[in-house]
Amino acid sequence: MHEKTLKFIISGGGTGGHIYPAIAIANEIKRLHPTADILFIGAKGRMEMTRVPEAGYKIIGLWISGLQRRLTLDNLSFPLKVISSIRNAYKIIKDFQPDAVVGVGGYASGPMLYAATKKGIPTLIQEQNSHAGITNKLLANKVDKVCVAHEGMSKYFPQEKIVITGNPVRSDIVHQLGKRAEAMSFFGLSPERLTFLVIGGSLGARTLNQSTEAALQRIQEAGHNLIWQTGKVFFSTAEEAVKSFPSDQIKAFDFIKRMDLAYAAADVVVSRAGALSISELCLAEKPSILVPSPNVAEDHQTKNAMALVERNAAVFVKDTEAAEQLWTTAFNLAKDKEKQKELSQNIGQLAKPHAAETIVHELLKLIK
């Protein structure tokens, strides 16, 4: 007797912070049920439309965007987009007949989860941040299960639906230990030097990029390596800037696909404090300097960062002070081997390596 092919829809995206957990969940479903059929639903024109197919999954794009905080043409079309997306979501459900629907936050997960709950299909939300996103808050009472990464989320979600799972992270990051030599040769860097890794999140970060550009000379003179992920917008500027420095020492990328090797190469990481970045840093056990983005809802990146700083698991630099302080702080940490060791041990204790497994376990329980 063949077991029935299980079918799942995973919806959401917009940034790496939503997309990578979604892919990690899909990979875990596939590990447990190799024959499972998985369909992603994203927002047209957003990053997931390229990243998800690269990971080997089918994706359909909905015509949806967020509400802007000021009056724009986009806002006027917002009600139309919502109606059109919900109608499309119903059609997708009818055609695909999923056993369960997962929402990871981001614009596309709203219409999809709404339609699924109306149709009585089991639904699960995965909330990455310590501060719940608007889509997830609106759907909390309708869905069956809410998987969260942080304590104290009952102020957003019904307590009886909450399971604390941590954030699912790409499995290769869990396995970056022992890859340093491979990483150094992959990036073409000299292995004798200390290596800084600068990551501004999937969309880049202006403050980190400008501070790093200004510090290139000092990084070279101090004899350190730099792996610098800039995001698309700043990349041409960075590419131009690094031309005058030795290529076995300073490297700029708009996007790094092999993040496992980037972490394996890094001795000190400079990063934004998005929920996913923090989950990855915990698993990679890297001494980190966090510069929270000020442009996020209710300043949740600062809250994410402070949760680590209070446990002596990371160093904090305020975005407005990064231009003056970031690289001085980084050079000081590079000199202080004891501090590096301490940060590395403390951040490692906060890792939740089995998040994807736990989430998929909860998902399968809903189907049973």
Per the annotation, where are the binding residues for UDP-N-acetyl-alpha-D-glucosamine? 15-17, 129, 170, 202, 256, 301
* 3-class SS letters over the chain: CCCCCCEEEEECCCCHHHHHHHHHHHHHHHHHCCCCEEEEEEECCCCHHHHHHHCCCEEEEECCCCCCCCCCHHHHHHHHHHHHHHHHHHHHHHHHCCCEEEECCCCCHHHHHHHHHHCCCCEEEEECCCCCCHHHHHHCCCCCEEEECCCCHHHCCCHHHEEECCCCCCHHHHCCCCCHHHHHHHHCCCCCCCEEEEECCCCCCHHHHHHHHHHHHHHHHCCCEEEEECCHHHHHHHHHHHCCCCCCCEEEECCCCCHHHHHHHCCEEEECCCHHHHHHHHHHCCCEEECCCCCCHHHHHHHHHHHHHCCCCCEECCHHHHHHHHHHHHHHHHHCHHHHHHHHHHHHCCCCCCHHHHHHHHHHHHHC
Q: Which residues sit in the known binding site?
A: 15-17, 129, 170, 202, 256, 301
